Chains A and B, each alone.
Chain A
Amino acid sequence: MTEFARSAGLAGPDAEARLRRRYAAERRFRFYGQAAIGAAILFLVFLIGSIVTQALPAFTQHKVAFDLQLDRAVVAPSGRAAPEDIRENVAGFYRLVREDLVERFPEGAGDASDRVELYSLATRLAVLPVAHDVARDPSMIGQTRRFWIALSDDLDLYLKGLVTRENVMTLGPVITVEVGRGDDSVVLTVAEAAAERIRANAPWSEPDRFLDGDPTVLIQAGDVVLKALELDGPEVKAEVLTGDLAAPNALASSPLTVRTIQTPETDRNVTDRQIAWTLALKSDGRIERRLNTALTSNADSTYPEIAGVFAALVGSLFTMLITASLAVPIGIMAAVYLEEFAPKTRMTDVIEVSINNLAAVPSIVYGLLGAAVFLNFFGLPRSAPFVGGLVLALMTLPTVIIAARAALKAVPPSIRDAALGVGASKTQAVFHHALPLAAPGIMTGAIIGLARALGETAPLLLIGMVAFVAEAPSGPTDEATVLPVLIYKWSTGAERAWEPATAAAIIILLIFMVFMNAVAVLLRRRFERRW
């Protein structure tokens, strides 16, 4: 310690203890900061991770190939083959699909309930893309073409392994097959060891005998699928779900795949027979897992396998365009006037307090306002992005005004003095100097406001943007919905397939938001570089 330190009371045990405490306090503070940031990053990673893992199944989809013979009588039954007639003729195309299914699985052609079971492999509306393809290229009429049609969402989930727990094992081929021992069933004789493994994997309530409500054991060989009913030594008594046992070597030639579907038939949305048909189609090579293009190109639907976010995306885009083109210029002009020109009076104080309060008003109140003023008083169209944009612009305005005022306040007054000093008018000083310097800050505020508007649901519900919209809007006054409302609706969907679809829609919304912010950041960079 130097003389100076001692004389100033900076040495000695007291001083050293003080110094240690000061260093400790600084280290502690740094640790708190790092811990806070670490926690934030952890939560973010967890959030993104859980959304992405949930959404991944929705980005792919199982599709079934159908070779459809596009007879004129079916495609254009009334004789008219204009594109719009073909597009409308969903029933005709679906009939082709049904006929094809019945031809492949004659056992499903029995009574009405059989047919419903079989036909629900593909929903009616899933043939819409086929109708559109043919409408676009009518020269297909009269030919046989292969189309890939979305598999029903429940079977799709089954194939993705999301709804049922399933054990799969492969065994050697059967030794003998005996058909019709008094009933519809068949008796397979398999190797001792194979029978033992089947028995071990059949957790039935009564040993060796399947009862309703037990897990299903499916035995597949090629395109023949059987359901095990009784086990007796090396003999397996089974019911034929699909496949032609009469075909030469149908069973004996191929190895057996035995699946134990842990979820009992009564607890799932797909029947054993539907699973059997799906497996048969798969062994035909007619089922493929493909990219789910419907998700980004289709409008909303009541069927998850053909529902998409496209219409909502367009609706969001229109809504944001309206919001941005109203809220940003009006907000900036209001801020410029209040900050640079308005005299500081009681009136401007009241206005300032009101703006600050409006920024804190719950968004649903703006929805009520929009419903009362824009819809009821002005009679503007319901569910339209134009009205949604107006409401969200009202909601965003205070945020933009507050941010723009803060940014203008941060511009040093010396710049305004400099401009006035060389003979610029007040307006020139503001628009040539203060406003451009405040632009990055204003932009940041506008981004925050618009990002909040993009994710807003509540006010839009009240002006009817929750309506089911089956087609993308072609203008801001068409009926539309927006992404957050779509996410809300999908998340309340009863079917299990909505869950990954909802997560996928959230990811699309996030991408939209990141894209919007990136554009704004780029713009801001450009502005900043000019000085």
Chain B
Amino acid sequence: MSETDEQASTSGAPPKGPVKVDCRSVDVFYNDKQAIFDISMVIPDQSVTAFIGPSGCGKSTYLRCINRMNDTIEGARVEGEIVIDGVDVNDPAVDPVLLRSRVGMVFQKPNPFPKSIYDNIAYGPRIHGLARDRAELDGIVEDSLTRAGLWEEVKDRLASPGTGLSGGQQQRLCIARAIAVNPEVILMDEPCSALDPIATARIEELIDDLRQRFCIVIVTHSMQQAARVSQQTAFFHLGKLIEYGDTETMFTNPANPKTQDYITGRFG
């Protein structure tokens, strides 16, 4: 039993639902430099878990461990176990490509493919063979766009390029693209940092809706956003998990003085 586990349990983060992701003693190294120090945490299903912390604290790195996006970075090495539904994602038997179809990701900057709106959504289902014919694919596209709250805005111009949408629409398109392959977990890496407040509000509403079906992990720089959308919050600092618990408790009565300082804006 490590120190962080103790912290997590003492700060009171009992998963409200069934556990979806169970991280045990995760270390991440970039070549010789250690970026994540022995972090363990459990992430419950059908809820939103927010990672907060100052820049460079390792929250994005930790997030990217969950769908093994760190594999694409040269020199990155992950130790420890990350168990999703009883399977360690770092097990050599796990195919990272299939893993990523189960653990979707939304990035900081909206990055639609420079293709039509339709093709953006249809790309994932196509490569995974999720649709048997065109009608089924049309159904997936409509369903994903509807769930991302974008259908009404783009249904008449599915053939126009996805890059022609506004920033907020592009980010919702990326969310629709992520949910089109029917993932179980959606990782969001600062999804609103490039958006204006109105677009941000729409995305936050969307995240709240999606919580009904998915396990969502969101990295954010905005404490208000974490407070608004998440049920659990984890505070990272210098590659360590300082505190993890119920969002309400974290923001009203943090156990660790560092958390207190960060939340009240004394550093970070």
Q: How many residues of B contact A (CB 8 A)?
A: 30
Residue of A343, A417, A432 with highest tally of chain B CB at under 10 A: A417
Separation of A531 and B115 alpha carbons in the complex (Å):
5
Q: Are A418 and B174 in contact (CB under 8 A)?
A: yes
Q: Are B124 and A418 in contact (CB under 8 A)?
A: no
Cβ of B111 and Cβ of A415 under 8 Å apart? yes
Which of B74, B100, B109 lies at the interface centre, i.e. has the most chain A CB atoms within 10 A of its CB? Answer: B100
Chain B residue contacts of A417, Cβ below 8 A:
69, 72, 105, 107, 111
Docked complex Cα distance between A206 and B161 (Å): 88
In the assembled complex, the Cα of A419 lies from the Cα of B123 at a distance in Å of: 9
Distance in angstroms between the alpha carbons of A418 and B163 in the assembled complex: 13
> Is there an interface contact between B107 and A531, defined as CB atoms closer than 8 Å?
no
Whole-angstrom CA separation of A422 from B113 in the bound complex: 12
| CB-defined contacts of A419 to chain B, threshold 8 Å | 113, 123
- Cα distance A531–B127 when bound, in Å? 19
A residues near B107, Cβ cutoff 8 Å: 414, 417-418, 421
- B114 close to chain A: CB less than 8 A: yes
- For A530, the chain B residues whose CB sits under 8 A away are 115
Quick check: is B117 within 8 A (CB to CB) of the other chain? no
Enumerate A468-503 residues with CB–CB distance to B below 8 Å: none
**In the complex, what residues of A have CB within 8 A of residue B100's CB?**
420-423
Query: Is B149 close to A, CB under 8 A?
Result: no
Contacts of A421 in B (CB 8 A): 67, 69, 100, 104-107, 178
How far, in angstroms, from A49 to B203 measured CA to CA in the complex? 63
Q: B101 — which chain A residues lie within 8 A by C-beta?
A: 422-423
Task: A288 to B114: give the CA distance in the assembly, Å.
Answer: 61
B69 A422 Cβ-Cβ under 8 A: no
Say how far B121's CB is from chain A's closest CB, in angstroms: 10
> Quick check: is A282 within 8 A (CB to CB) of the other chain?
no
Interface of A is mostly: helix
Please give, as numbers and ranges, the residues of chain A lying within 8 Å of B112 by CB-CB distance: 418
How far, in angstroms, from A420 to B101 measured CA to CA in the complex?
9
Asked if A53 is an interface residue, CB under 8 A from chain B, the answer is no
Chain B, residues 78-120, CB within 8 Å of chain A (1/0): the string is: 0000000000000000000110111011110101111100000
* Interface status of A346 (Cβ within 8 A of chain B): no
| CB atoms of B97 and A424 under 8 A apart | yes
Whether, in the assembled complex, A165 has its beta carbon less than 8 Å from a beta carbon of chain B, the answer is no
B177 at the interface (CB under 8 A from A): yes
Q: Which of A415, A418, A422, A437 contacts B181 (CB 8 A)?
A: A422
Judge whether A415 and B127 touch: CB under 8 Å: no
Q: Is B178 within 8 A of A422, CB to CB?
A: yes
The verdict on A414 contacting B109 (CB below 8 Å), with A420-B72, A424-B97 known, is yes
Q: Is B213 an interface residue (CB 8 A)?
A: no
A14 to B69, CA, bound (A): 57
Q: Does A433 contact B (CB under 8 A)?
A: yes
A423 touches B124 (CB 8 A): yes
Give the distance in Å from the alpha carbon of A54 to the alpha carbon of B232 in the complex. Answer: 83
Q: Is A425 in contact with chain B by the CB < 8 A criterion?
A: yes
Residue A181 lies at the interface, judged by CB distance under 8 Å to chain B: no
B128 within 8 A of A: yes
**Docked-complex contact B111 and A422, CB < 8 angstroms:** no
Q: How far is the CA of A343 from the CA of B74 in the complex (A)?
A: 8
A428: Cβ under 8 A from any B Cβ? yes
Given contacts A343-B74, A414-B107, A417-B107, contact A423 B113 (CB under 8 A): no
Cβ-neighbour of A420 out of B69, B161, B163, B177 (below 8 A): B69
The proximity string for A residues 191-234 relative to B, scoring 1 for CB distances below 8 Å and 0 otherwise, is 00000000000000000000000000000000000000000000
Query: By the criterion CB–CB under 8 Å, are A422 and B97 in contact?
Result: no
Report chain A residues within 8 Å CB of B127. Answer: 422-424, 428, 432
CA distance A412 to B128 in the complex (A): 24
Q: CA of A415 to CA of B72 in the docked complex: distance in angstroms? A: 13
Q: How many angstroms between the C-alpha atoms of A487 and B163 in the bound complex?
A: 50
Q: Which residues of B contact A344 (CB under 8 A)?
A: 74
How many whole Å from B141's CB to the nearest CB in chain A?
Answer: 13
Complex contacts, B104 vs chain A, CB 8 Å = 421-423
Contact present for B123 and A422 (CB under 8 Å): yes
Q: Please measure, in the bound complex, the distance between the C-alpha atom of A50 and the C-alpha atom of B190, giving whole angstroms.
A: 63
Question: Taking A423-B124, A432-B123 as contacts, is the C-beta distance between A418 and B97 under 8 angstroms?
Answer: no
Interface centre among A415, A420, A421 (most CB of B within 10 A): A421
Q: Which residues does chain A contribute within 8 Å of B102, judged by CB atoms?
A: 423
Which chain A residue has the least Cβ–Cβ distance from B161? A531
Chain B nearest Cβ from A522, distance in angstroms: 20
Q: Nearest-CB distance from A527 to chain B (Å)?
A: 12
When C-beta atoms are compared, the residue in chain B nearest to A424 turns out to be B127
Excluding A415-B113, A416-B72, A428-B127, 11 further A-B contacts by CB distance (< 8 Å) are: A343-B74, A414-B109, A415-B114, A417-B69, A420-B69, A423-B98, A423-B100, A423-B104, A423-B128, A424-B127, A531-B114
Closest 4 CB pairs between A and B? A423-B101, A422-B124, A421-B105, A414-B111
Some 25 contacts from A to B, beta carbons below 8 A apart, are A414-B107, A414-B109, A415-B111, A415-B114, A417-B72, A417-B107, A417-B111, A418-B107, A418-B112, A418-B113, A419-B123, A420-B69, A421-B178, A422-B100, A422-B101, A422-B123, A422-B127, A423-B98, A424-B123, A424-B127, A432-B127, A433-B113, A530-B115, A531-B115, A531-B163
